[in-house]
Amino acid sequence: MTEQSSLLLRKQLADDDDIYQWEVVVIGPQDTLFEGGFFKATLTFPRDYPLRPPKLKFVTEIWHPNVAKNGDVCISILHEPGEDKYGYEKPEERWLPIHTVETIMISVISMLADPNGDSAANVDAAKEWRDDPKGIFKKKAFPQPVKVVGEVLHAEYQASIGAKSERGSSITSSTWMSSRMSADTETMRVPYTITLT
């Protein structure tokens, strides 16, 4: 992997007083209908994590077979552990305490790249994806233009600079994504198209 294809995997608390809720931004994977999209989401952990899975909900509007109209993500890795009462998933495909935030986010990126139309949370999106993936479905895939989403994220970044300046922290990075780092964030290099903020 080249340095350019490697992005930062980061997390930041949505609320400094609640360690169970994180804000994340997923960047649409290359060579997919979601390429170029910035999708903001919340990752909410139950109090008994890692015995039970967190829940992922997109805040940015996204049209996808495995994302409910309210933004809830429906993928096997986020389903409660054990037997599937409908017989669709094997227990090993569901949540296991060995899963990490990284494995969850890799699954979300895979879901964006390769929707599962057989287990749809949004039946209308699944039908359009099967019938006309490069037509109607592509137009609805992420209705907020990338420019608008980028402007919103940039505005949030600008606001965070102001807040950090008031606290006496300095921002030294030349790129706004990497400069969102602060004392309450974790960073590691991974070769995936994702940024947790």
Q: Which CATH number fits domain 7-167+176-190: 3.10.110.10, 3.90.550.10, 1.20.1250.20, 3.40.50.2300?
A: 3.10.110.10
Hey, which residues does 99 pair with through a beta bridge?
Answer: none
What pLDDT digit, counting tens, does each position of 15-33 carry?
677 889 988 888 888 888 8
Q: Are the CB atoms for 151 and 144 separated by under 8 Å?
A: no
Residue 146 bears catalytic tag: no
pLDDT of residue 17: 75
Distance CA 175, CA 98 (A): 33
- Kindly name the residue from 74, 78, 141, 194 that is annotated as catalytic: 74
Residue type, 109: I
Q: 28 by DSSP, 3-state: which?
A: coil
What pLDDT digit, counting tens, does each position of 36-68 carry?
788 889 999 999 999 999 999 999 889 999 999
pTM summary value = 0.69
Q: Are the CB atoms for 68 and 90 separated by under 8 Å?
A: no
